Structure 1
Amino acid sequence: MSLEIERKFLVKNDDFKSESYAQKSIKQGYLNSDKNRTVRVRISDEKAFMTIKGKSNATGTTRFEWEKEIEKSEAESLLLLCEPSIIDKTRYLVKVGDHTYEVDEFYGDNQGLTVAEVELNSETETFIKPNWLDQEVTGDVKYYNSSISKHPFKDWI
Protein backbone atom coordinates (compact mmCIF):
# COMPACT_ATOMS: atom_id res chain seq x y z
CA MET A 1 0.00 0.00 0.00
CA SER A 2 1.43 3.35 -1.01
CA LEU A 3 0.80 6.73 -2.51
CA GLU A 4 1.55 7.15 -6.19
CA ILE A 5 2.82 10.61 -7.20
CA GLU A 6 3.19 11.11 -10.93
CA ARG A 7 2.96 13.61 -13.76
CA LYS A 8 1.58 12.67 -17.17
CA PHE A 9 2.31 14.13 -20.61
CA LEU A 10 1.39 13.58 -24.23
CA VAL A 11 4.30 12.60 -26.48
CA LYS A 12 4.93 14.48 -29.73
CA ASN A 13 7.29 12.13 -31.61
CA ASP A 14 9.04 8.74 -31.51
CA ASP A 15 12.44 10.05 -30.29
CA PHE A 16 11.88 8.29 -26.95
CA LYS A 17 12.22 4.88 -28.65
CA SER A 18 15.92 5.34 -29.41
CA GLU A 19 16.47 6.49 -25.80
CA SER A 20 14.59 3.53 -24.30
CA TYR A 21 16.56 0.92 -22.34
CA ALA A 22 13.68 -1.59 -22.02
CA GLN A 23 10.20 -2.29 -23.30
CA LYS A 24 7.38 -4.66 -22.46
CA SER A 25 4.02 -5.65 -23.89
CA ILE A 26 1.08 -4.95 -21.63
CA LYS A 27 -2.53 -6.10 -21.76
CA GLN A 28 -4.84 -4.83 -19.06
CA GLY A 29 -8.49 -4.69 -18.20
CA TYR A 30 -10.70 -3.26 -15.48
CA LEU A 31 -12.89 -5.26 -13.14
CA ASN A 32 -14.08 -1.90 -11.80
CA SER A 33 -13.45 1.51 -13.36
CA ASP A 34 -15.51 3.65 -10.97
CA LYS A 35 -14.12 7.19 -10.66
CA ASN A 36 -13.52 6.70 -6.92
CA ARG A 37 -11.58 3.43 -7.31
CA THR A 38 -10.29 1.21 -10.07
CA VAL A 39 -9.50 -2.49 -9.92
CA ARG A 40 -7.12 -3.46 -12.71
CA VAL A 41 -5.74 -6.76 -13.99
CA ARG A 42 -2.50 -6.50 -15.98
CA ILE A 43 -0.28 -8.94 -17.82
CA SER A 44 3.15 -7.48 -18.50
CA ASP A 45 5.17 -9.95 -20.57
CA GLU A 46 5.30 -13.03 -18.29
CA LYS A 47 4.24 -11.34 -15.03
CA ALA A 48 0.72 -10.48 -13.89
CA PHE A 49 -0.68 -8.07 -11.32
CA MET A 50 -3.89 -6.99 -9.62
CA THR A 51 -3.93 -3.27 -8.80
CA ILE A 52 -6.38 -1.11 -6.88
CA LYS A 53 -6.12 2.66 -7.23
CA GLY A 54 -8.05 5.32 -5.34
CA LYS A 55 -9.32 8.67 -6.52
CA SER A 56 -6.67 11.30 -7.35
CA ASN A 57 -6.21 14.38 -5.22
CA ALA A 58 -7.26 17.84 -6.45
CA THR A 59 -4.10 18.32 -8.58
CA GLY A 60 -4.35 14.85 -10.09
CA THR A 61 -0.79 13.98 -9.10
CA THR A 62 -1.32 11.75 -6.04
CA ARG A 63 -3.51 8.76 -5.26
CA PHE A 64 -3.59 5.57 -3.21
CA GLU A 65 -2.25 2.46 -4.94
CA TRP A 66 -2.15 -1.21 -3.88
CA GLU A 67 -0.62 -3.84 -6.14
CA LYS A 68 -0.02 -7.57 -5.82
CA GLU A 69 1.60 -10.00 -8.21
CA ILE A 70 -0.69 -12.88 -9.22
CA GLU A 71 -0.31 -15.95 -11.41
CA LYS A 72 -0.43 -15.22 -15.15
CA SER A 73 -3.08 -17.92 -15.60
CA GLU A 74 -5.25 -16.20 -12.96
CA ALA A 75 -4.85 -12.86 -14.74
CA GLU A 76 -5.81 -14.43 -18.08
CA SER A 77 -9.01 -15.76 -16.48
CA LEU A 78 -9.75 -12.43 -14.79
CA LEU A 79 -9.30 -10.53 -18.07
CA LEU A 80 -12.29 -12.48 -19.37
CA LEU A 81 -14.41 -10.96 -16.57
CA CYS A 82 -13.25 -7.38 -17.18
CA GLU A 83 -15.34 -4.53 -18.48
CA PRO A 84 -15.31 -4.25 -22.30
CA SER A 85 -12.23 -2.98 -24.15
CA ILE A 86 -8.96 -4.51 -23.01
CA ILE A 87 -6.04 -2.09 -23.32
CA ASP A 88 -3.09 -3.21 -25.44
CA LYS A 89 0.13 -1.19 -25.34
CA THR A 90 3.90 -1.27 -25.36
CA ARG A 91 5.63 0.41 -22.43
CA TYR A 92 9.07 1.90 -23.04
CA LEU A 93 11.33 2.77 -20.09
CA VAL A 94 13.46 5.87 -20.65
CA LYS A 95 15.98 7.18 -18.11
CA VAL A 96 16.14 10.98 -18.08
CA GLY A 97 18.33 12.49 -15.37
CA ASP A 98 17.39 10.95 -12.02
CA HIS A 99 13.98 9.71 -13.22
CA THR A 100 12.59 6.96 -15.42
CA TYR A 101 9.76 7.84 -17.78
CA GLU A 102 7.24 5.15 -18.64
CA VAL A 103 6.09 5.84 -22.20
CA ASP A 104 2.98 3.95 -23.33
CA GLU A 105 2.28 3.51 -27.03
CA PHE A 106 -1.29 2.27 -27.44
CA TYR A 107 -2.77 -0.06 -30.08
CA GLY A 108 -6.21 -1.13 -31.22
CA ASP A 109 -8.93 1.44 -30.51
CA ASN A 110 -6.31 3.71 -28.91
CA GLN A 111 -3.83 3.61 -31.81
CA GLY A 112 -2.15 7.00 -32.22
CA LEU A 113 -2.13 7.83 -28.51
CA THR A 114 1.24 7.90 -26.75
CA VAL A 115 1.50 9.07 -23.13
CA ALA A 116 4.51 9.45 -20.81
CA GLU A 117 4.44 9.32 -17.01
CA VAL A 118 7.16 10.13 -14.53
CA GLU A 119 6.89 9.00 -10.90
CA LEU A 120 8.04 11.46 -8.25
CA ASN A 121 8.82 11.37 -4.54
CA SER A 122 6.87 14.57 -3.89
CA GLU A 123 4.48 16.81 -5.80
CA THR A 124 7.07 19.60 -5.86
CA GLU A 125 10.05 17.49 -6.98
CA THR A 126 11.84 18.87 -10.04
CA PHE A 127 12.59 16.70 -13.06
CA ILE A 128 14.01 17.06 -16.56
CA LYS A 129 11.50 17.27 -19.39
CA PRO A 130 12.89 15.63 -22.54
CA ASN A 131 12.26 17.26 -25.95
CA TRP A 132 9.75 14.56 -26.96
CA LEU A 133 7.28 15.58 -24.25
CA ASP A 134 4.27 17.60 -25.32
CA GLN A 135 1.31 19.01 -23.38
CA GLU A 136 0.94 18.03 -19.72
CA VAL A 137 -2.27 16.07 -19.02
CA THR A 138 -1.75 15.30 -15.31
CA GLY A 139 -5.15 15.04 -13.63
CA ASP A 140 -7.06 14.97 -16.93
CA VAL A 141 -9.26 11.91 -16.34
CA LYS A 142 -9.74 11.46 -20.09
CA TYR A 143 -6.14 10.14 -20.30
CA TYR A 144 -6.48 7.59 -17.48
CA ASN A 145 -6.25 4.04 -18.79
CA SER A 146 -9.56 3.28 -17.09
CA SER A 147 -11.15 6.10 -19.12
CA ILE A 148 -9.65 5.18 -22.48
CA SER A 149 -10.88 1.63 -21.98
CA LYS A 150 -14.44 3.06 -21.99
CA HIS A 151 -13.91 6.02 -24.35
CA PRO A 152 -11.11 5.03 -26.74
CA PHE A 153 -8.90 7.52 -28.54
CA LYS A 154 -10.41 6.61 -31.95
CA ASP A 155 -13.73 8.15 -30.81
CA TRP A 156 -12.19 11.50 -29.78
CA ILE A 157 -11.67 12.78 -33.29
Structure 2
Amino acid sequence: MGMEIERKFLLASDTWRSQVSRSQRLVQGYLVSAHLVTSGASKSSVRVRIGGEQAWLNIKSSTLGVARQEYEYEVPLADAEAMLARLCDGVVEKIRHYVAHANHEFEIDEFFGANDGLVVAELELDSVDEAYERPDWLGAEVSELPRYYNLNLIAYPYSAWTAAEREGQG
Protein backbone atom coordinates (compact mmCIF):
# COMPACT_ATOMS: atom_id res chain seq x y z
CA MET A 1 0.00 0.00 0.00
CA GLY A 2 1.88 3.08 1.19
CA MET A 3 -0.35 5.88 -0.11
CA GLU A 4 -4.11 6.35 -0.10
CA ILE A 5 -5.68 8.94 -2.36
CA GLU A 6 -9.30 9.31 -1.35
CA ARG A 7 -12.00 11.91 -1.88
CA LYS A 8 -15.09 12.16 0.37
CA PHE A 9 -18.47 13.49 -0.66
CA LEU A 10 -21.90 14.15 0.71
CA LEU A 11 -24.77 12.69 -1.30
CA ALA A 12 -27.29 14.74 -3.26
CA SER A 13 -29.88 11.94 -3.36
CA ASP A 14 -30.33 8.27 -2.55
CA THR A 15 -30.68 7.09 -6.15
CA TRP A 16 -27.31 5.33 -5.72
CA ARG A 17 -29.12 2.62 -3.73
CA SER A 18 -30.44 0.95 -6.87
CA GLN A 19 -26.85 0.59 -8.15
CA VAL A 20 -25.30 -1.18 -5.13
CA SER A 21 -23.37 -4.31 -6.16
CA ARG A 22 -22.59 -5.52 -2.62
CA SER A 23 -22.59 -4.31 0.98
CA GLN A 24 -20.58 -5.10 4.09
CA ARG A 25 -21.06 -4.20 7.74
CA LEU A 26 -17.93 -2.70 9.32
CA VAL A 27 -17.05 -1.99 12.94
CA GLN A 28 -13.91 -0.05 13.70
CA GLY A 29 -12.17 1.64 16.59
CA TYR A 30 -8.98 3.60 17.09
CA LEU A 31 -6.02 2.62 19.25
CA VAL A 32 -4.69 6.21 19.29
CA SER A 33 -7.18 8.77 20.57
CA ALA A 34 -8.65 11.35 18.16
CA HIS A 35 -7.40 14.15 20.41
CA LEU A 36 -3.76 13.09 20.00
CA VAL A 37 -4.11 12.84 16.22
CA THR A 38 -6.01 16.10 15.65
CA SER A 39 -3.78 18.07 18.07
CA GLY A 40 -0.68 16.97 16.16
CA ALA A 41 0.69 15.00 19.14
CA SER A 42 0.52 11.83 17.04
CA LYS A 43 1.71 11.53 13.45
CA SER A 44 -0.75 8.74 12.66
CA SER A 45 -4.05 7.14 13.46
CA VAL A 46 -4.10 3.43 14.25
CA ARG A 47 -7.38 1.65 13.56
CA VAL A 48 -8.68 -1.86 14.04
CA ARG A 49 -11.55 -2.84 11.74
CA ILE A 50 -13.77 -5.90 11.45
CA GLY A 51 -15.70 -6.69 8.28
CA GLY A 52 -17.52 -10.00 8.28
CA GLU A 53 -15.07 -12.71 9.35
CA GLN A 54 -11.96 -10.65 8.53
CA ALA A 55 -10.10 -8.02 10.51
CA TRP A 56 -7.37 -5.50 9.77
CA LEU A 57 -5.02 -3.14 11.54
CA ASN A 58 -4.66 0.11 9.63
CA ILE A 59 -2.16 2.94 10.13
CA LYS A 60 -2.75 6.31 8.39
CA SER A 61 -0.78 9.51 8.52
CA SER A 62 -2.63 12.23 10.40
CA THR A 63 -2.21 14.83 7.66
CA LEU A 64 -5.38 16.39 6.30
CA GLY A 65 -6.30 16.15 2.66
CA VAL A 66 -6.85 13.77 -0.20
CA ALA A 67 -3.48 11.97 -0.11
CA ARG A 68 -2.29 10.25 3.07
CA GLN A 69 0.18 7.51 3.85
CA GLU A 70 -1.60 4.26 4.67
CA TYR A 71 -0.57 0.74 5.69
CA GLU A 72 -2.97 -2.13 6.32
CA TYR A 73 -2.42 -5.61 7.75
CA GLU A 74 -4.78 -8.52 8.27
CA VAL A 75 -5.02 -9.64 11.91
CA PRO A 76 -6.81 -12.57 13.57
CA LEU A 77 -10.51 -11.85 14.15
CA ALA A 78 -10.29 -12.75 17.85
CA ASP A 79 -7.44 -10.26 18.32
CA ALA A 80 -9.41 -7.50 16.60
CA GLU A 81 -12.48 -8.20 18.75
CA ALA A 82 -10.32 -8.02 21.89
CA MET A 83 -8.71 -4.74 20.77
CA LEU A 84 -12.09 -3.17 20.03
CA ALA A 85 -13.45 -4.24 23.42
CA ARG A 86 -10.41 -3.43 25.56
CA LEU A 87 -8.28 -0.79 23.87
CA CYS A 88 -10.62 1.56 21.98
CA ASP A 89 -12.52 4.54 23.40
CA GLY A 90 -15.48 3.76 21.17
CA VAL A 91 -16.41 2.34 17.79
CA VAL A 92 -17.81 3.52 14.49
CA GLU A 93 -20.40 1.20 12.97
CA LYS A 94 -21.45 1.40 9.35
CA ILE A 95 -22.54 -0.48 6.30
CA ARG A 96 -20.31 0.07 3.30
CA HIS A 97 -22.10 -0.14 -0.02
CA TYR A 98 -20.13 -0.54 -3.26
CA VAL A 99 -21.37 1.30 -6.36
CA ALA A 100 -19.61 1.14 -9.73
CA HIS A 101 -19.78 4.24 -11.90
CA ALA A 102 -17.83 5.03 -15.08
CA ASN A 103 -14.76 2.85 -14.40
CA HIS A 104 -14.57 3.74 -10.71
CA GLU A 105 -16.05 2.21 -7.59
CA PHE A 106 -17.59 4.46 -4.97
CA GLU A 107 -17.74 3.23 -1.38
CA ILE A 108 -20.80 4.65 0.32
CA ASP A 109 -20.72 4.50 4.10
CA GLU A 110 -24.04 4.55 5.93
CA PHE A 111 -23.37 5.11 9.64
CA PHE A 112 -25.25 3.88 12.72
CA GLY A 113 -25.31 4.53 16.46
CA ALA A 114 -24.32 8.09 17.42
CA ASN A 115 -23.59 8.73 13.73
CA ASP A 116 -26.98 7.51 12.47
CA GLY A 117 -28.13 9.56 9.50
CA LEU A 118 -24.65 10.30 8.14
CA VAL A 119 -24.02 8.90 4.67
CA VAL A 120 -20.72 9.67 2.92
CA ALA A 121 -19.33 8.52 -0.43
CA GLU A 122 -15.62 7.82 -0.80
CA LEU A 123 -13.68 7.39 -3.99
CA GLU A 124 -10.15 5.98 -4.06
CA LEU A 125 -8.00 7.19 -6.94
CA ASP A 126 -4.57 6.34 -8.34
CA SER A 127 -3.40 9.98 -8.36
CA VAL A 128 -4.49 13.27 -6.81
CA ASP A 129 -5.39 14.74 -10.20
CA GLU A 130 -7.04 11.62 -11.66
CA ALA A 131 -10.21 12.49 -13.58
CA TYR A 132 -13.48 10.82 -12.59
CA GLU A 133 -17.07 11.17 -13.68
CA ARG A 134 -19.45 12.52 -11.05
CA PRO A 135 -22.72 10.59 -10.81
CA ASP A 136 -25.94 12.62 -10.38
CA TRP A 137 -26.31 11.47 -6.78
CA LEU A 138 -22.90 12.80 -5.69
CA GLY A 139 -23.01 16.00 -3.62
CA ALA A 140 -20.44 18.42 -2.21
CA GLU A 141 -16.87 17.29 -1.62
CA VAL A 142 -15.88 17.23 2.07
CA SER A 143 -12.38 15.71 1.77
CA GLU A 144 -10.75 18.64 3.58
CA LEU A 145 -13.20 18.69 6.53
CA PRO A 146 -11.76 16.67 9.45
CA ARG A 147 -15.15 16.09 11.10
CA TYR A 148 -15.94 13.59 8.31
CA TYR A 149 -12.90 11.46 9.14
CA ASN A 150 -14.03 8.27 10.87
CA LEU A 151 -11.51 8.93 13.63
CA ASN A 152 -13.33 12.14 14.59
CA LEU A 153 -16.79 10.56 14.49
CA ILE A 154 -16.10 8.82 17.81
CA ALA A 155 -15.26 11.99 19.76
CA TYR A 156 -17.66 14.29 17.86
CA PRO A 157 -20.47 12.15 16.41
CA TYR A 158 -22.92 13.28 13.75
CA SER A 159 -25.72 13.46 16.34
CA ALA A 160 -23.88 16.40 17.99
CA TRP A 161 -23.34 18.41 14.79
CA THR A 162 -25.09 21.69 14.07
CA ALA A 163 -27.38 22.02 11.03
CA ALA A 164 -24.64 23.95 9.18
CA GLU A 165 -22.11 21.18 9.85
CA ARG A 166 -24.56 18.57 8.59
CA GLU A 167 -24.83 20.44 5.29
CA GLY A 168 -21.05 20.46 4.81
CA GLN A 169 -20.59 24.01 6.10
CA GLY A 170 -19.40 25.46 9.38
Q: What TM-score comes out, normalization by structure 2 length?
A: 0.87
SS in 1 for 2:86: coil
1:7 is the counterpart of 2:15? no
Q: Which amino acid aligns with 2:106?
A: Y
Instruction: Please name the residue that 2:29 is paired with.
Output: 29
8 Å CA contact 1:110–1:153 kept in 2: the answer is yes
8 Å CA contact 1:23–1:91 kept in 2: the answer is yes
Counterpart Cα distance in 2 of 1:18 and 1:56: 35
8 Å CA contact 1:31–1:81 kept in 2: the answer is no
8 Å CA contact 1:4–1:64 kept in 2: the answer is yes
| Structure holding more helix per residue | 2
Per the TM alignment, residue 98 of structure 1 is displaced from its structure 2 partner at its CA by 1.2
1:95 is the counterpart of 2:91? no
Q: What TM-score comes out, normalization by structure 1 length?
A: 0.94
Per the TM alignment, residue 130 of structure 1 is displaced from its structure 2 partner at its CA by 1.0
CA deviations over 1:11-67 (Å, ceiling 9, x no partner)? 13322221010100000000113233100000011110000000235xx11010010
Counterpart Cα distance in 1 of 2:15 and 2:52: 23
Q: Give aligned pairs, total.
A: 155
Give matches, 1:111-126, under 5 Å. 111-126=116-131
Q: Quote the sequence identity (%).
A: 39
8 Å CA contact 1:56–1:139 kept in 2: the answer is no
SS in 2 for 1:80: helix
Poorly superposed stretches of 4+, deviation over 2 Å: 81-85
Give matches, 1:30-109, under 5 Å. 30-32=30-32, 33=34, 34-35=37-38, 36-56=43-63, 60-109=65-114
CA deviations over 1:61-109 (Å, ceiling 9, x no partner)? 1010010001111100000134322111000001111111000000010
Instruction: Please name the residue that 2:167 is paired with.
Output: none
Moved more, 13-22 or 135-144: 13-22
Question: Structure 2: where are the runs of 5+ without partners?
Answer: 163-170
SS in 1 for 2:152: helix
SS in 2 for 1:148: helix
Instruction: Please name the residue that 1:19 is paired with.
Output: 19
Question: Structure 1: where are the runs of 5+ without partners?
Answer: none
Counterpart Cα distance in 2 of 1:69 and 1:5: 20
SS in 2 for 1:67: strand
Counterpart Cα distance in 1 of 2:150 and 2:133: 24
Q: Which amino acid aligns with 2:7?
A: R
